[in-house]
């Protein structure tokens, strides 16, 4: 059955299962880009690190109490800490919060085995890096978004090889798989885009695509996206997804339970022409991976 919700196309029942089969084929054929979110951690049991910006805000607030008006906003709490206690303190807190290794999910391990040209992973953990290394692969490169705080050069990203060594940006052009972490990650170098100040210049430039790596811009032109384990209930999350998926070939699909979505999320999917598969994540992964 296909229904409309706030003009977003939502697939249920047999139509949803058929779409999952199409998604699997698209991934295996390298015609889709996985866009991964932190809810994938649920597939491996109780998450050892926070799964939402709001829970990161709470963890930061526990380390450095923030004013009540901002304490549920991750970006504002991080900015408060940076201003009051220095950038190094903020990075240290984030490294502590995300110190526990996250086991790669069944889906992440499967994706690591595919000949995918691009994987986008939007959270701060290192599960996808771990999955690629566990697959015994040496043909991939990680591109991470980095803060411009303390930099005296025009830089938006840094590039790392499978061992975690920083390499020249050109290395991404020769890689079989590019792992793109737009907000940074705890591994291998504790890069975190998390404070309001981290995003000031990024959001100023993102409409003209300057912060998006050239390799990502090139690969998306012949591919669509599949959004898995992601939420877009905050404007910041929607802005990044919109710009990363911009000018992609499509089609794009989101796997999510519609009952949990906000009206803004449904409007966002409609705006980008993303079909929504209304299905529990565990069931979708079972159909994808087998």
pLDDT at position 185 is: 98
Helices vs. strands in the chain: H and E counts, helices first: 12, 13
Integer Cα distance of 191 and 152 in angstroms: 17
The sign of the CA dihedral 207, 208, 210, 213 is positive
Query: Which pLDDT band, with edges at 50, 70 and 90, does 151 fall under?
Result: low
Place 149 in a pLDDT band, splitting at 50, 70 and 90: low
182 close to 110: Cβ distance less than 8 angstroms? no
Q: What is the model's pLDDT at position 133?
A: 98
Phi, psi of 230, rounded to the nearest 5 degrees: -110, 150
Q: Is the pLDDT of residue 4 over 70?
A: no
Q: Give residue 148's pLDDT.
A: 74
pLDDT at 45: 84
- Mean pLDDT in residue range 237-248: 91
Give the per-residue pLDDT at 274. Answer: 96
pLDDT of residue 150: 61
pLDDT band at 153 (very low <50, low <70, confident <90, very high): low
Structure tokens at 262: 């906000």
| Average pLDDT of the chain to the nearest whole number | 93
Measured distance CA(1)–CA(15) in Å, rounded = 6
Tell me: the pLDDT tens digits for 198-234? 888 777 777 677 889 999 999 999 999 999 999 999 9
pLDDT of 152: 60
Q: Which two tokens stand for residue 40?
A: 């994938």
* Cα–Cα dist 265/158, whole Å: 30
Give the pLDDT band of residue 184 (cuts 50, 70, 90): very high
CA 121 – CA 131 distance, rounded (Å): 12
For residue 166, pLDDT beyond 90? yes
Q: Tokens 């992609």 correspond to what residue?
A: 248
| pLDDT > 60? residue 2 | no
Torsion of CA 102, 108, 113, 116, to 10 degrees: -120
Has residue 94 got a pLDDT over 90? yes
Backbone angles phi, psi at 180, to 5 degrees: -105, 120
Please tell me the predicted confidence (pLDDT) of residue 203: 77
Segment 35-88, tens digit of pLDDT = 999 999 999 888 999 999 999 999 999 999 999 999 999 999 999 999 999 999
pLDDT at 8 over 90: no
CB atoms within 10 A of CB 265: 23
Give CA angle at 123 (49, 44), nearest 5°. Answer: 50
Kindly report the backbone phi and psi dihedral angles of residue 261, in degrees, each rounded to the nearest multiple of 5, phi listed first.
-85, 150
Q: Which residues contact 125 (CB under 8 A, 6 or more apart)?
A: 38, 41, 49, 98, 102, 185, 186
Report pLDDT for 230: 95
Residue count of the chain, please give it. 290
Q: What is the pTM assigned to this prediction? A: 0.94
């Amino acid at each position: 059955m296909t229904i409309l919700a706030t003009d977003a196309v939502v697939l249920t029942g047999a139509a949803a299962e058929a779409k999952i089969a199409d998604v699997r084929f698209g991934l295996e054929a390298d015609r889709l880009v996985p866009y991964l979110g932190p809810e994938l951690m649920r597939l491996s049991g109780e998450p050892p690190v926070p799964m939402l910006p709001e829970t990161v805000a709470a963890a930061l607030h526990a380390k450095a109490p923030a004013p009540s008006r901002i304490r549920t906003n991750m970006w504002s709490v991080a900015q408060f800490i940076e201003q009051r206690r220095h950038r190094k303190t903020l990075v240290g807190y984030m490294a502590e919060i995300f110190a526990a290794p996250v086991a790669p999910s069944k889906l992440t391990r499967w994706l690591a085995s595919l000949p995918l040209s691009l994987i986008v992973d939007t959270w701060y953990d290192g599960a996808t890096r771990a999955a690629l290394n566990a697959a015994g692969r040496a043909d991939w490169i990680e591109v991470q978004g980095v803060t411009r705080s303390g930099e005296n050069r025009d830089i938006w990203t840094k590039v790392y090889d499978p061992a975690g060594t920083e390499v020249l940006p050109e290395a991404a052009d020769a890689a079989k798989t590019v792992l793109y972490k737009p907000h940074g990650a705890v591994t291998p170098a504790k890069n975190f885009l998390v404070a309001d100040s981290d995003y000031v210049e990024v959001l100023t430039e993102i409409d003209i695509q300057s912060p998006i790596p050239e390799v990502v811009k090139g690969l998306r032109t012949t591919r669509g996206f599949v959004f898995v384990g992601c939420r877009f209930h905050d404007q910041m999350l929607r802005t990044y997804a919109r710009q990363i998926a911009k000018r992609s070939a499509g089609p794009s699909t989101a796997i999510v339970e519609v009952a949990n979505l906000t009206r803004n999320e449904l409007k966002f999917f409609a705006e980008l022409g993303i079909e929504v598969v209304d299905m529990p994540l565990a069931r979708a992964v079972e159909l994808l991976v087998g």
